[in-house]
């Protein structure tokens, strides 16, 4: 775990730790806890973060990371096998890791989304009702309470919601609010948040976007202009369907995909909690690094570049003042692609957990109402890269370098966090 997360434990946590560590001298008993509590509370997190609180997609990754890490730490405090994200007291005696996992998720979500407190309390009560009453359940709740409190304490003053705005002066190559909403940059503070595992938001080095007068820029310009247009596009019907499929909420798509993998692979509660912890941490840090690159490079979107191509100084580009993209351009710069950053975090993490080939990944889209299967993570990377260009949202350089961020974040997280105990 990153040294910067090791913060002093509050007096309340010390008291809780003493209660847990002094509650008996017998070794923890073997158990076969149900992993469905992990997937169920992931679904509750999706509902809380998106449906009930309309959290922006980019910053939502932080909260999935918080929930998943607290759940992981609660489970491994009881079951062992992997190192915690934040050091936890080791309880003794019989404990319910299901109660611990549910309580950790419940308290983290309640803390960050207080307007959902009543609904979450109902969910928590329902989860505990399915667990046999007694000391094991009660002490599992204590473990989850400590794990949640440790996570919340560690993330205090981490830079969330800081008063940061994008203030670069509009010029050729510089992002500015885009049609049709002309909204300011969304969640600009995200790129300055303390990462979950990376040393800094700029740890993963990037080459930067192509210079406006370069051949590479002209090539990418021509591609998105031809294939990403709303009207008169060179896209085939199959390419349009692929583009629209990947215009759904990618965070939900990827969280649901891991849920499906947990169930179909029969993962136990420890492996399930760790899988969500690794994925959500990688996606959280990929989002932070991505937003920092968006802020620092501030590169214009295709819709702006194509309409104002007579200002870019490149003789190989031609303006089209009426050009529109297939999908509405979101309110933040082009470089790097947030979708590619999150996809790279997904494929990098799944490759570590399950291998890169011979997979049976199932993904669905609320936009097209269809389902896709992938047996290769390279194919998933490729489809998502093309899709965002065919939607007219990104230059290809933003996609390739976004994947670099995602893969880099996943590699760092899987190498340094939630490691096996020796």
Among 24-33, 38-47, 241-250, 261-270, the minimum mean pLDDT is found in 24-33
pLDDT of residue 33: 82
CB of 392 closer than 8 Å to CB of 334 = no
Q: For residue 49, give Cα distances in angstroms to 65, 125, 156, 197, 344.
A: 12, 20, 19, 22, 22
3-state secondary structure at position 229:
strand
Residue 27 reports pLDDT greater than 80: no
DSSP string for 343-385: HHHHHHHHHHHH-SEEEEEEEE-TTT--EEEEEEHHHHHHHHH
Q: Which CATH number is 3-154 given?
A: 1.20.144
Rg (CA), the chain: 23
**Mean of the pLDDT values across residues 191-215?**
98
Q: What is the pTM of this model?
A: 0.93
* pLDDT exceeds cutoff 70 at 305: yes
pLDDT above 90: residue 19: no
CATH for 188-416? Answer: 1.10.606.20
Query: In the predicted model, is pLDDT for residue 29 greater than 80?
Result: no
Q: Specify the pLDDT at position 119.
A: 98
Nearest to 40 by CA among 130, 140, 113: 130
Q: Which two tokens mark 99?
A: 């109660």
Tell me the average pLDDT across 142-162. Answer: 98
Does the pLDDT of residue 11 top 90, yes or no? no
Give the mean pLDDT of the chain.
93
314-354 confidence digits (pLDDT tens): 999 999 999 999 999 999 999 999 999 999 999 999 999 99
pLDDT in tens, 402-419: 999 999 999 999 999 999
Domain range annotation of the chain:
3-154, 188-416
Q: Tell me if 3-154 shares its fold with 188-416.
A: no
């Amino acid at each position: 775990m990153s040294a910067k997360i090791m913060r002093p434990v509050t007096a309340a946590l010390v008291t809780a730790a003493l209660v847990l560590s002094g509650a008996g001298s017998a070794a923890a008993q073997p158990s076969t806890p149900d992993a469905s509590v992990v997937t169920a509370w992931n679904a509750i997190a999706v509902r809380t973060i998106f449906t009930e609180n309309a959290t922006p997609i980019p910053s939502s990754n932080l909260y999935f990371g918080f929930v998943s890490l607290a759940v992981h730490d609660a489970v491994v405090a009881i079951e062992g096998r992997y190192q915690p994200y934040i050091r936890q007291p080791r309880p003794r005696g019989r404990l319910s890791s299901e109660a611990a996992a549910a309580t950790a998720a419940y308290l983290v979500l309640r803390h960050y989304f207080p307007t959902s407190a009543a609904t979450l309390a109902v969910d928590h009560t329902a989860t505990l009702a399915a667990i046999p009453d007694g000391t094991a359940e009660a002490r599992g709740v204590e473990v989850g309470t400590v794990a949640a409190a440790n996570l919340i304490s560690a993330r205090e003053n981490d830079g969330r919601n800081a008063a940061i705005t994008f203030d670069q002066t509009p010029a050729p190559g510089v992002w500015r609010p885009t049609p049709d909403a002309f909204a300011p940059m969304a969640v600009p503070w995200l790129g300055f948040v303390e990462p979950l595992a990376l040393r800094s938001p700029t740890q993963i080095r990037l080459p930067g976007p192509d210079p406006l007068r370069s051949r590479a820029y002209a090539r990418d310009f021509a591609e998105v202009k031809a294939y990403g247009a709303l009207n008169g596009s060179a896209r085939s019907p199959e390419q349009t369907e692929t583009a629209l499929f990947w215009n759904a909420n990618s965070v939900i798509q990827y969280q649901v995909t891991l849920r499906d993998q947990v169930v179909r692979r029969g993962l136990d509660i420890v492996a399930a909690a760790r899988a969500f912890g690794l994925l959500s941490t990688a996606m959280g840090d990929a989002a932070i690094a991505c937003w920092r690159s968006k802020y620092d490079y501030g590169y214009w979107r295709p819709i702006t570049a194509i309409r104002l191509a007579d200002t870019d100084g490149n003789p190989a580009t031609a303006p089209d003042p009426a050009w529109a993209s297939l999908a509405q351009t979101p309110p933040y710069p082009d470089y790097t692609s947030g979708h590619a950053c999150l996809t790279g975090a997904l494929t990098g993490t799944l490759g570590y957990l399950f291998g890169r080939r011979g997979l049976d990944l199932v993904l669905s889209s609320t936009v097209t109402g269809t389902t896709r299967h992938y047996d290769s993570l390279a194919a998933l990377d490729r489809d998502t890269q093309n899709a965002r260009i065919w939607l007219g949202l990104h230059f290809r350089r933003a996609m390739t370098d976004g994947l670099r961020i995602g893969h880099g974040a996943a590699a760092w997280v899987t190498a340094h966090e939630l490691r096996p105990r020796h």
